[in-house]
Structure 1
């Protein structure tokens, strides 16, 4: 490949600077010469007819910058051609680089926490001063073995299948990024298979259980309203927590919420029932939070469990269980899976199909399809 600095005169009179990447030529079946060229426009411009000393000086500086870029591009080409290692990047410590990528995910609460938890295990397994350039297939296999055989939770129990899957994928993501950015010369992730993902249990409430919970006192009124609202709408805790009044639309015959999902950044238009709207209360100032005082943490999570116990519910219910409850109730009451998927903001229909498995009517019918036996229990 040959890289050259080129100039193109524009209709405005200015001259645009760009790089041409020339990969040679070929002859087609008709004997025509086909040149293989690619272009990269630098968004640098020269004055077409510089008159003042200032314009001439600007042209000189711009041209000098473009030539420096050309030199760097040629150096990158030579580095790739002869497999020259970028020693400076490679010397970056793995744990430091991991932390850098982790901080970029700070806005995503759940994901950030997973990165933090995975980091603690990586820190226990690896040497504190290991550089990225020293990471190889054996290191990756070693961490996988550590997660499978040695790693323990805070309660000193082995990691679950999905936890191993999640933690190992965090390191895989880091190493993929390191390879893409030139910290690693070899894509070590390709050679080591990850953990298979286990099917997680999705705890939910039946309609009668939700009714019992609705009739039972909760220590925090805001928590009770927000939780039941989630059961009726499917909204995540993060979206309910940040919901403001300007996102609530009281239209002629319907109520809906127009909001941007915190997890996916997707803009959602969600119709809600009249009862769900009543749980929001009287409309406040456009910039005010709808549910003031709602908190995420062990204290509120513990209150949800106590609230359930008071209602006679022994399931391990969390705030996220409200979202599962909404999906199951919608499907049980005739909503099609595509509509449920859209309401929950799922990117893929297969994510929603897990709920369809929970309420499989045919399976329920099959359980009672065998005629009753006359059993002598003596």
Structure 2
């Protein structure tokens, strides 16, 4: 690629300075040669016909600045081409950079929480004066060993496999970003082996257990409606808790009244729409103002979490059920009743089909268990 400074004469007689990136040429389908160029407007201007010494001096200074910017762009290009590290950036402290990347994740509460938790651990194992020039493969291996052997939870227990997986991946993500931005000449993240991710236990309710909950009194009526609605719709707690009536839609399609929820996923930020059944819609109650919350009084608290456990106990359910178990319940019930995994993945809002496939394993296990339910015959 050729990088050069060019001048463009404007209608008012002034000259605009820009950097041209010439990326070669190609032959079009018509057999003509097409030159590939990109431009960066420096927003610097020269007098086309300087009238006095001051204008000539200003032109000289502006042109000198433009040439310095050109030199910077050329240096950045060769830095990337030959894996050269920016020596000034190499003096930046790693933990300061990681903190900056952490703050960039503040828009997503769950992701931000994982980054801040990782930051806590990195402060324990990385000296505060560590700069990017200090980072090499031994450094990365030492951080992995810390997460694997030394890191402890607040309860002074070793990290779970999933915590190791999550925290070390945040560390690797920071290394990748540092490489992309010129702080590192080598992408050490590509050389570091991640931890295996353990399959988490997904507790769910059978249809019979869900019916038992419907028939059992719950101390908080709004909690009961919200939990059962999640079982019927798959919506997360965060999306149910913030739901307003403007997100609840009713419309006719092919002369049939259908119900949908249009919402922005709290976890991913993606805009989604979700069809729900009439029974699920009835749980929402009477429509109110567009900006009114649907589940008024619903809140996250230890009192509500404990009531879910007591409610299950009163219904004769001994499983460890949390509000998120309602989402797992929806997935299992849909698979049991013939929904294909791709449709389920879309309804659940999963970005990867492998996340949804875990529910298929649950169904497969149930089929395996069912094969042994018939008592043995005597021959």
The TM-score, its normalising length taken from structure 1, stands at: 0.83
211-220 or 76-85, larger mean C-alpha shift: 76-85
Check whether the contact 1:20–1:37 (CA below 8 A) recurs between aligned residues. no
Partner of 2:251: 251
Alpha-carbon displacement from aligned partner over 1:227-278 (angstroms, at most 9, x marks no partner): 2111110011121122111111122411111112222332222111112112
How far 1:290 sits from its partner (Å)?
1.6
- CA distance in 1 between counterparts of 2:226 and 2:93 reads 44
Which of 276, 282, 285 is the aligned partner of 1:278? 282
In the alignment, structure 1 residue 266 sits paired with structure 2 residue 265: no
265-274 or 80-89, larger mean C-alpha shift: 80-89
How far 1:124 sits from its partner (Å)?
1.7
Check whether the contact 2:237–2:323 (CA below 8 A) recurs between aligned residues. yes
Partner of 1:292: 296
- CA distance in 1 between counterparts of 2:307 and 2:92 reads 45
Partner of 2:94: 94
Partner of 1:41: 40
Corresponding residue SS for 1:292: coil
In the alignment, structure 1 residue 306 sits paired with structure 2 residue 310: yes
Tell me: CA distance 1:353–1:36, structure 2 relative to 1, closer, same or farther (3 Å). same
Partner of 1:352: 356
The TM-score, its normalising length taken from structure 2, stands at: 0.83
Tell me: CA distance 1:332–1:100, structure 2 relative to 1, closer, same or farther (3 Å). same
- CA distance in 2 between counterparts of 1:172 and 1:71 reads 32
Check whether the contact 2:334–2:344 (CA below 8 A) recurs between aligned residues. yes
Tell me: CA distance 1:159–1:19, structure 2 relative to 1, closer, same or farther (3 Å). same
Tell me: CA distance 1:91–1:309, structure 2 relative to 1, closer, same or farther (3 Å). farther
Tell me: CA distance 1:65–1:261, structure 2 relative to 1, closer, same or farther (3 Å). farther
- CA distance in 1 between counterparts of 2:343 and 2:171 reads 36
How far 1:194 sits from its partner (Å)?
0.9
257-266 or 10-19, larger mean C-alpha shift: 10-19
Alpha-carbon displacement from aligned partner over 1:159-183 (angstroms, at most 9, x marks no partner): 2211111111111111111111122
Partner of 1:367: 372
Check whether the contact 1:217–1:307 (CA below 8 A) recurs between aligned residues. yes
Count of aligned pairs between the two proteins: 367
Alignment of 1:111-150 (within 5 A): 111-150=111-150
How far 1:22 sits from its partner (Å)?
4.7
- CA distance in 2 between counterparts of 1:48 and 1:286 reads 58
- CA distance in 2 between counterparts of 1:305 and 1:6 reads 71
Alpha-carbon displacement from aligned partner over 1:300-344 (angstroms, at most 9, x marks no partner): 333322322232222222222111111111111222222211111
Partner of 1:205: 205
How far 1:46 sits from its partner (Å)?
6.4
Corresponding residue SS for 1:250: strand
Corresponding residue SS for 2:284: coil
Alpha-carbon displacement from aligned partner over 1:62-87 (angstroms, at most 9, x marks no partner): 87765453232133346557876434
How far 1:19 sits from its partner (Å)?
2.5
Which of 332, 337, 343 is the aligned partner of 2:336? 332
**Where does the alignment leave 5 or more consecutive residues of structure 1 unmatched?**
none
Corresponding residue SS for 2:174: helix
- CA distance in 1 between counterparts of 2:50 and 2:87 reads 46
Cα RMSD after superposing both structures: 3.7
Partner of 2:74: 74
Which of 334, 342, 345 is the aligned partner of 2:346? 342
Corresponding residue SS for 2:73: helix
- CA distance in 2 between counterparts of 1:222 and 1:288 reads 15
- CA distance in 1 between counterparts of 2:357 and 2:11 reads 57
In the alignment, structure 1 residue 192 sits paired with structure 2 residue 196: no
Check whether the contact 2:205–2:329 (CA below 8 A) recurs between aligned residues. yes
How far 1:358 sits from its partner (Å)?
0.9
In the alignment, structure 1 residue 316 sits paired with structure 2 residue 315: no
